[in-house]
Amino acid sequence: MQVKFLDLQKITAKYADKMHEAVLRVVDSGWYLQGHENERFEENYAKYIGSKHAIGCANGLDALIWIFRAYIEMGVMQPGDEVIVPANTYIATILAITENGLKPVLVEPKLSTYQIDDDLIEQAITPRTKAICIVHLYGQCAYTDKIGELCQKYNLKLVEDNAQAHGCLYKGRKTGSLGDAAGHSFYPGKNLGAFGDAGAVTTDDDELAATVRALANYGSQKKYVFKYTGRNSRLDEIQAAILDVKLANLDEDVALRQEVAKRYCSEITNPKIILPQIADWKAHAFHLFPIRCAERDRLQQYLSENGIQTIIHYPIAPHQQECYKEMNDMSLPITEQIHNEELSLPISPVMTAEEVEYVIETINKFK
Ligand SMILES: *Cc1c(COP(=O)(O)O)cnc(C)c1O
C-alpha cells in the first residue's frame, strides 16, 4: 500500500463541483482583484475566527510582515525593539520579525507540547520587548492564560502565527482571535488551503486593520494617494472564491483530522515512538501529526520502504540556518532535540481507515 503524506488532489476532488463553479464565476465576472469574492471571504473568515476584521493578502509570511510593519507605522514599535518568539517555529515567523528590523528573542519550547515554554518567557522580557509572537505549531494551541497575563503585566502586543492552526479552539474561542492580531497562511497544504499562495490578517483593532489593508495595497487607502511605502500583496478573487468554498467545510475537515490523530494516539504502541501529548483535543487542529523517535532517520527510511510518505518539520532549526549567522552560536537544546527527532506522519481529512490502519501497523512493527 502507498500512503501519501498529503493527497491534495483527493482533497480538492471532494469539492470539485463547487470549485469549478467558483472559478468559472470569477472568470466570467471580468473582475479579478479587490472585488466581491474578497469581500465575502474576508467577512466569512472574520466571522469564523471571531474577530472584527479579516484582511486578505498574498501569503502567510506577508500577513505576519504586515502586522509588525503596521505596529511600526502606528508608533507602537520601533526598529530594534524585541519580539519574543518560539525557537522551534517555521522560519517565516522569524523572517517577519527581522524583515521589519525588529529583533527576534528565541525562547525554547516545552518538549511535551512543542509549544513555547511559558515558564521561560518572563525572564526573556527586557525594556525593549514590545510583543510576544506565539505560533500554534503543528496546529496545537500555544496560548496559555499565563501568556495573556504577561502581555497585560508588561504591556506587550500578542501576535499569533495561526498559519498551521485553522480550526483550533482555546476554551471555545478560535486561535487567531486570542491576541491583538494574527497572521494566517492559506498555502495549499495548510488546513485551509488555496490553489496557490494566499494569506490573511485578523484583528479587532480598527487602526491596525486599516494600516495592514493599506500596506498590502501599495500603502494606499485612496487610489493614487500613498500614505506608506507598501507593496503589492493582495489576495486575488479566484483564491478568495476557492477559500470561501473550503471554509464552509473547515470544521468538518478538522474533525476528520482529529479522528485520524485519535487512532494514532491510541493504537501506536511501539515504545520507540513518542506520541504528541494531547491535553485538550479541541485545542489541536492537527495540521500535522508530529511524533518523535531517537532513530528518526532510520524510521523515515523504513516507512518510505513500506510506501509511507513522511516529512520532517523541520530538519534545521532557525538559529542554525545560514541566513541567521548571528544566531548560529546559540545553544537551544530542546529545539535542537525536536529538530533531530521529529517526524510528521500522514494526516488529512481524506485518509481512509485502511490507510490509517496500515500506518499504525507498519510503525508498530518497526524494530
Ligand atoms: C506556512 C507558514 C507560514 C507562512 O505562510 P506562507 O503562506 O507559506 O507564506 C508562517 N508560519 C508558519 C508557522 C507556517 O507554517
Whether pTM > 0.95 for this model: the answer is yes
Q: Which of 112, 116, 56, 111 is nearest to 83 (CA)?
A: 116
Grid cell at residue 213: 489593508
Classify burial at 30, counting beta carbons within 10 Å of its beta carbon; exposed 0-12, middle 13-18, buried 19 or more: exposed
The share of the chain scoring above pLDDT 70, in percent, equals 100
Q: Rounding to the nearest 10 degrees, give the CA dihedral for residues 283, 288, 289, 293.
A: -120
Residue 279 pLDDT exceeds 90? no
Q: Which of 189, 252, 198, 191 is nearest to 54 (CA)?
A: 198
What would the 3-class secondary structure string for the chain be?
A: CCECCCCHHHHHHCCHHHHHHHHHHHHHHCCCECCHHHHHHHHHHHHHHCCCEEEEECCHHHHHHHHHHHHHHCCCCCCCCEEEEECCCCHHHHHHHHHCCCEEEEECECCCCCCECCCCCHHHCCCCEEEEEEECHHHECCCCHHHHHHHHHHCCEEEEECCCCCCCEECCEECCCCCCEEEEECCCCCCCCCCCCCEEEEECCHHHHHHHHHHCECCEEECCEECCCCCECCCEHHHHHHHHHHHCCHHHHHHHHHHHHHHHHHHCCCCCCECCCCCCHHHECCCCEEEECCCHHHHHHHHHHCCECCECCCCCCHHHCHHHHHHCCCCCHHHHHHHHHEEEECCCCCCCHHHHHHHHHHHHCCC
Grid cell at residue 325: 549567522
User: For ligand 1, atom 5, which residue shows the shortest CA distance?
Assistant: 60
Ligand 1 centre distance from Cα of residue 164 (Å): 7
Sorting pLDDT into bands at 50, 70 and 90, what band is 235? very high
Ligand 1 centre distance from Cα of residue 230 (Å): 20
Ligand 1 centre distance from Cα of residue 269 (Å): 32
Ligand 1 centre distance from Cα of residue 192 (Å): 12
Convert the pLDDT of each residue in 175-207 to its tens digit.
999 999 999 999 999 999 999 999 999 999 999
CA distances from 364 to 258, 286, 296, 303 (A): 20, 21, 14, 11
Convert the pLDDT of each residue in 312-321 to its tens digit.
999 999 999 9
**268 CB neighbour count, 10 Å cutoff:** 19
Ligand 1 centre distance from Cα of residue 81 (Å): 23
Quote the pLDDT of residue 326: 97
Beta carbon of 199 within 6 Å of any ligand 1 atom = yes
Q: What is the mean pLDDT of the chain?
A: 98
Strand-pair category, 103-107 with 82-86: parallel
Beta carbon of 165 within 6 Å of any ligand 1 atom = no
Beta carbon of 88 within 6 Å of any ligand 1 atom = no
Residues 6+ apart with CB under 8 A from 14: 249, 349, 350
Ligand 1 centre distance from Cα of residue 185 (Å): 5
- Give the orientation angle of helix 250-267 with respect to helix 353-364, to 10 degrees: 30
User: For ligand 1, atom 2, which residue shows the shortest CA distance?
Assistant: 163
Q: Which of 88, 91, 80 is nearest to 107 (CA)?
A: 88
**215 CB neighbour count, 10 Å cutoff:** 26
Residues 6+ apart with CB under 8 A from 281: 258, 261, 262
**5 CB neighbour count, 10 Å cutoff:** 16
Ligand 1 centre distance from Cα of residue 136 (Å): 11
Beta carbon of 163 within 6 Å of any ligand 1 atom = yes
Sorting pLDDT into bands at 50, 70 and 90, what band is 255? very high
Best residue for ligand 1 mutational test, from 185, 201, 234 (most atoms within 8 Å of Cβ): 185
Quote the pLDDT of residue 69: 98
Q: Which ligand 1 atom is nearest residue 93's CA?
A: 11
Convert the pLDDT of each residue in 25-69 to its tens digit.
999 999 999 999 999 999 999 999 999 999 999 999 999 999 999
Ligand 1 centre distance from Cα of residue 364 (Å): 32
Best residue for ligand 1 mutational test, from 59, 61, 133 (most atoms within 8 Å of Cβ): 61
Q: Which ligand 1 atom is nearest residue 164's CA?
A: 15
Q: Read off the pLDDT of each residue in 94-100 and give the average, rounded to a whole number.
A: 98
